[in-house]
Amino acid sequence: MIFPSCKEVSHLVSQGLDRELGVGERMRLRLHLAICNGCTNFKRQMEFLRKAMLRLGSE
Amino acid sequence: MEDFRSRVEAERAYLLRYASLQLRDRHAAEDAVQETLLAALAGESGFAGRSNLRTWLTGILKHKIVDAVRRASRDGVAPDPGDEADLDALLYDRRGHWAEPPAAWPDPDASLEQAQFFAVLELCLERLPAKTAQAFMMREHLGFETADICKELGVTPTHCWVLLYRARAALRECLQTNWFQK
């Protein structure tokens, strides 16, 4: 699908933290994030969560 | 020696909470902590010169937790009840748009300086189903590669990604409700 849904994009955002995304996946992600605030916020929050988890137990 | 022993013993409650968060099994958590305390007392010289006892003990405990996860996965961890359709149905409408688009979190990094934030994060982690939480803690806290998590938990890579996605999405919801919206 050329225009992925927010659901697909949020799954891809998550997988991007666990594996290397393909060229096509990265392009669909970028196109969608450019026009979607909800998914952009979701992506930032996933990155924040990763940072918080590394600090857990050492705060 | 007596002093070191009581200082190590004083960290037991903290270590138990830390282990319980990841193992979800009271007995397994107690065993891991007990092994850690014994290893610490036997290896006091390893601590010499380090400043933070808790950090040193947590480092030992992490290894014991990994061992416990391996043992448990050999015995077979029961899959979590429910399936991803439940969570996705909550988050998205039928066309896959957000039911409620995530709003920006104002200055999230400031939260990282607050002990209260980590208390909320721990509560949110406790609410995750056991296997989901285990996969997530292995990935984000113990630093496993995804392929190793799949192997240890005995699931396919695709299922592994789904578990991690579910954990992240559920934690986001929980933090949104209980921290960033307060």
Please, are residues B174 and B180 in contact by the beta-carbon 8 Å criterion? no
Domain boundaries, chain B: 2-75, 84-180
In this predicted structure, what is the pLDDT of residue B23? 85
Output the pLDDT for position B150: 87
Residues of B in contact with A55 (CB under 8 A): 112, 118
- Four-way CATH pick for B84-180: 3.10.310.70, 1.10.10.10, 2.40.160.20, 3.30.1370.110: 1.10.10.10
Q: What pLDDT is recorded for position B83?
A: 55
pLDDT digits (tens, 9 = 90+) for B120-142: 999 999 889 888 998 999 999 88
Residue in the structure block whose two tokens are 């902590």 = B33
Best mutation target, B140, B148, B160, B177, to test chain A (most A CBs within 10 A): B140
Residue A28 CA to residue B120 CA, distance in Å, equals: 34
If you classify domain B2-75 with CATH, what class do you get? mainly alpha
B44 C-beta neighbours (distance < 10 Å), count: 12
What percentage of chain B carries pLDDT values higher than 90? 52
State the pLDDT at residue B71. Answer: 81
Q: Do domains B2-75 and B84-180 have the same CATH topology?
A: no
Q: pTM of the predicted model, to two decimals?
A: 0.83
Integer Cα distance of B41 and B166 in angstroms: 39
Tens-level pLDDT at each residue, chain B (182 residues): 568 889 999 999 999 998 988 888 889 999 999 999 999 988 887 887 777 888 899 989 999 998 888 887 777 666 666 655 578 888 999 999 999 999 999 999 999 999 999 999 999 998 898 889 989 999 998 888 999 898 888 889 999 999 999 999 999 999 999 999 85
Amino acid at B158: T
A17 and B88 within 8 Å at the Cβ level: the answer is no
Retrieve residue B134's tokens. 């285990």
Q: Would you call A45 and B103 a contact, using CB atoms and an 8 Å cutoff? A: no
The answer to whether the CB of B168 falls within 8 A of the CB of A49 is yes
What pLDDT is recorded for position B174? 93
Q: Do B140 and A15 touch (CB under 8 A)?
A: no
